[in-house]
Structure 1
Amino acid sequence: MGALLFGYNTSVVNGALDFMAKPSQLGLSAWAQGVVSSGLTLGAAFGAVFGGPLSDKIGRKKLLTWLGVIFTVFGLACGLAPNTTVVIICRFILGLAVGAASGTVPVYLAEIAPAAKRGKMVSMNQFLIVFGQFLVFGVNAFLGNVFGDNAGIWRVMIALASVPGIALWIGMYAMPESPRWLTSKNRFADALKVLYRIRSKAQAEAELQEIKVNSEKEKAEQAEAASWKDFKKNWIIQICITGGMLGIIQQFAGINAIMYYGSQVLRDAGFAANAALIANVANGVFSCIGAIVGMYTIDKLGRKKLELTGLIFCAVALVVVGLIKTYAGSASWTPFAIMIIILVYIVIDQGTIGPVTWLLNSEIFPNRYRGLGTGITIFTLWFANFLVGLLFPALMAALGLATVFYIFAGCCILGAWFVAVRVPETKGVNLEDIESFFRARYDKSYKGESKI
């Protein structure tokens, strides 16, 4: 539900903005639409920073429960907002919850999943994000076409986000706490009880022993809890750079320009307004298809190979859209050709770049640094997301669809180079062993060798 709310709240403006921009409603300009859309992602950037340390302090389960409350209350408040200022404030607060959830949910899943299934479990998070986007696209298309004569229908579109918020709020009471978080608090008996619920007896006892050994190593290195001063260590800085760049690459590949402004992109391609709203639902459908593909391939093909493949093919698709718009912009077949290529691009992105980014960011930090570390890298991801959401309408107006897509394609190529030279393959590797890759490369005091 946390991931579904992530997808629903980030993309609910895709279809609602046209109604919000009407003079009888909020009368939003192109720039104001960017601010309303990106206000949530700005909040998410800060939520990612504070969510990690907070989850380390109070636990993954308790934090996700409180996030369900925030999603419920401020989803309703956003729908009832009397003016643009209140909408932006409510979406910023929702963004805080989205950001905290975006960092906490993958970590929670990675910590409770066995190593062999960790990729599939964390990729389920990606699937639920895009399912939330598909859900809101479908709801908005239905409401926009059936009740489109009432310009205030955007309030219903946005307020419906409170429904999955209630489900998260209540559902977390039935979920176990992370066994790795429990061991970090020396609650070994409670951790074993959780492991007995989600593993066989032998697996539970073996995994607890492994976690204990790693915990003792960490305590031997430094008695106090991880703090910001720990992030002055070069090898930790390098992990942060790697995770942060993965987030920037994911966003500058352009996927959320489609997820937030898909109906506007399709109108620019040549579709009529109502047809664009309906066609936009296909974006959600193909996002789900891509996420399912990624969920079943990420542990078979590996993280690095999927990321590289995705970036290269996304770059090709973006260039093709740009060329069609540049040289055949007025042709009768252009809208359908662009829509088909965008759908192919979505499947590729959501099946490769999307899940790999979240999974790697949940894997690369040692347990002791995971809360703060993922907060930093997810902040970077969300700030990049904020920039895309804020600037895309203005860039579209100033440069046109083709040029913006060429820029995204260039970012994909640069991203592929970075992944090739900096990112480790973590497929099937225990979380405790991933640390060795970065320490062997970047920690001069480290005497061991990389286990990857």
Structure 2
Amino acid sequence: MTAHAESAAEADLPPLTSGPHRSRIGVISVVACLGGLLFGYDTGVANGAEGPMARELGLSLLQLGVVISALLFAAAIGALVGGIISDAIGRRKTILILAVLFFVGVLLVVFSPAGPEPGTFSATGFATLVAGRIVLGLAVGGASTVVPVFLAELAPFEIRGSITGRNELAIVVGQLSAFVVNAILGTTLGHVDGVWRIMFAVCALPAVALFIGMLRMPESPRWLVEKGRNDEALAVLKTVRSEDRALAEIAQVELIANQEKESHQIGIRAIMASKWLRRIIFVGIGVCITQQLTGINSIMYYGTRVLEESGMGEEEAVLANIAFGVVAVIGGIIALRNMDRIDRRKTFMIGLTLTTTFHCLVGVASMLLPAGNPARPYVILVLVVGFVLSMQTFLNVAVWVWLAEVFPLHMRGLGIGMAVFFCWVTNGILGLYFPTLVATIGITGSFFLFAGIGVVALLFVYTQVPETRGRSLEALEEDVSTGQIYVGLR
């Protein structure tokens, strides 16, 4: 099945037109994507802040691992709970709550007390720091679930990929910002105790901006219809569509919502009663785990360690690490241009083929160039940059867009929350054990392991992942609920 087999649902909608409503979608996406920016900064800032933080607070390697991974495991809970809450109280209110959590988490981290002397351990400081990272994790996980759904439900299907994909671009912009801020502060104020606190404090500003901005943003019209607030939903749609398009679209949304209510099968009850809904949940979980097992976030969190392991000096590695952030942003921009032009399945297949190839090349290079060879760190740097560029261009943006559009309205928050829960659990396990993995089997073994997983992931996508591009959310919902979406899969 391809996205080009347009159903009657899409054919019945008037075409998109230009005007103030198109600009309004742009403004909404910019404000909502501050959540993605915070997501990126808070996950990337540790890649550079961990060293001075551990030295000042007297943290052992295990304690440092707990601090780093606390955010990731909390994000798993935040993704699941955030999705459920957004189904209950709305996407907009949930994002406002997340903005508050981002701000509170930053305060806890920044004001974590040090020991009586620099370098001495403080149980209170450690507990406060971990608590702050947990609060930030809840916010990051919630944002990873709710922001893409909010954007997907507001965007017209013709440009849904590029609108929803802006959140992933914002994430990598946030990570790049963290790398640049860390590098600047590390080189200018690296001798100052507490420089890591400034690195974390920077993201308080976008948290405030997200809260203030979302106060002026509308609620998702599809969520409003789900709650029976049809007049409010139409009013919102008229601000982001032409008059005739808004009327036609609201009619389709209302029709699907009424059919769901008449069947008395919504949310978790519907999932338990339908093999097709259970299947799409498992496929969503598989897509999330596949994305994480490429090892992309291990590079975004521990890129400097990988470069140091390859033979690069500490300061040089911190500066070179910025390259990962730069190519991630470049890849995100390319991905947005392609998101409404290339099918999701094809994008996944290209991305996994490229990332698996670069994994093999890194493994081969680290075998052929022994430790001490002056070319070794630079060859590995170029190959890892190629991996990050491939990942961002073809996989990261596409995965989050696909997740935001594939689940039916009555379970969308719950569905993406369940899938992303496993995404963050996998992320957390890698974040906790990746340094140990590299120390145990080296760069060679680590990247060959990722390559083997990539081959399995390609087979999974080819046989299990359905296409979603070029379809309205309502048409997708009907095909997912009946199993029609799997027709044509190999």
**What TM-score do the two structures reach when normalised by structure 2?**
0.88
Residue 227, structure 1, aligned to residue 263, structure 2? no
**Is 1:70 the equivalent of 2:112?**
no
Letter in 2 for 1:55: S
Q: Does 1:156 align with 2:198?
A: yes
Equivalent residue, structure 1, for 2:68: 37
Letter of the 2:388 counterpart: I
The correspondence of residues 198-277 of structure 1 with structure 2, limited to 5 A, is 198-222=240-264, 225-227=266-268, 230-277=271-318
Structure 2: how far apart are the matches of 1:450 and 1:337? 44
The answer on whether the counterparts of 2:71 and 2:133 sit within 8 Å (CA) in structure 1 is: yes
Equivalent residue number for residue 350 of structure 1: 392
Aligned residue runs from structure 1 range 109-188, under 5 A: 109-188=151-230
1:439 is displaced (CA, Å) by 4.2
| SS of the residue 1:352 aligns to | helix
Indicate conservation of the 8 Å contact 2:40/2:171, yes or no.
Answer: yes
Q: Secondary structure of the residue that 1:409 maps to in structure 2?
A: helix
Compute the displacement of 1:228 (Å).
5.3
- 1:355-412 C-alpha deviation (Å, 9 max, x unpaired): 1211111111110111211110010111111111111011112121221111111111
- Alpha-carbon distance in structure 1 between the residues aligned to 2:402 and 2:312: 38
TM-superposed deviation, 1:436? 4.3
| Alpha-carbon separation, structure 1, partners of 2:200 and 2:448 | 32
For 1:132-190, what per-residue CA distance to the aligned partner results, in whole angstroms no more than 9, with x for missing partners? 00000000000011111124211111122211111111110121110001111111111
2:200, 2:273 → 1: CA distance?
42
1:320 aligns with 2:361: yes
Moved more, 403-412 or 254-263: 403-412
Alignment correspondent of 1:2:
35
Q: 2:91 aligns with which of 38, 44, 60?
A: 60
Q: What's the secondary structure of 1:299's corresponding residue?
A: coil
Q: Which amino acid aligns with 2:330?
A: I
> Is the contact made by 2:271 and 2:278 (CA closer than 8 Å) also made in structure 1?
no
* 2:405 paired residue among 353, 363, 383: 363
Where does residue 286 of structure 1 map in the other structure?
327
SS state at 2:415 partner: helix
The match for 1:424 is 466
Distance 2:82 2:363 in 1: 38
Is residue 305 of structure 1 aligned with residue 346 of structure 2? yes
- Helix, strand or coil: the match of 2:407? coil
Distance 2:71 2:142 in 1: 12
Q: Which residue of 2 aligns with 1:398?
A: 440
User: 1:44, 1:96 within 8 Å by CA — same for their partners in 2?
Assistant: yes
Letter in 2 for 1:227: I
Whole-Å separation in 2 of the counterparts to 1:394 and 1:132: 27
Q: TM-score, normalised by structure 1?
A: 0.95
Question: Residue 415 of structure 1 is aligned with which of 424, 448, 457?
Answer: 457
Q: How many residues align?
A: 444
Residue 191 (structure 1) aligned to one of 233, 244, 253:
233
Match of 2:118 in 1: none
Report what 1:341 is aligned to.
Answer: 383
* Matched AA of 1:97: A
Distance in 2, matches of 1:171 and 1:440, equals 39
Mapping 1:95-110, distance limit 5 Å: 95-110=137-152
- 1:445 corresponds in structure 2 to none
Over aligned residues, Cα RMSD in angstroms?
Answer: 1.7
Verify the 8 A CA contact 1:52 1:104 in the aligned structure 2: yes
Is residue 434–residue 451 contact of structure 1 (8 Å, CA) maintained in 2? no
Query: How far has the Cα of 1:127 moved from its partner?
Result: 0.2
Tell me if structure 1 keeps the 8 A contact 2:79–2:421: yes
Structure 2, unmatched stretches of 5+, are 1-33, 114-124
Deviations 1:101-152 (A, max 9, x none): 1100000000000000000011111100000000000000000111111242
1:17 maps to 50
* Paired residue type of 1:59: G
Contact 1:298–1:356 at 8 Å: present in 2 too?
yes
Q: Which residue of 1 aligns with 2:128?
A: 86
Aligned-pair identity in percent equals: 39
CA drift of 1:449 comes to 9.6
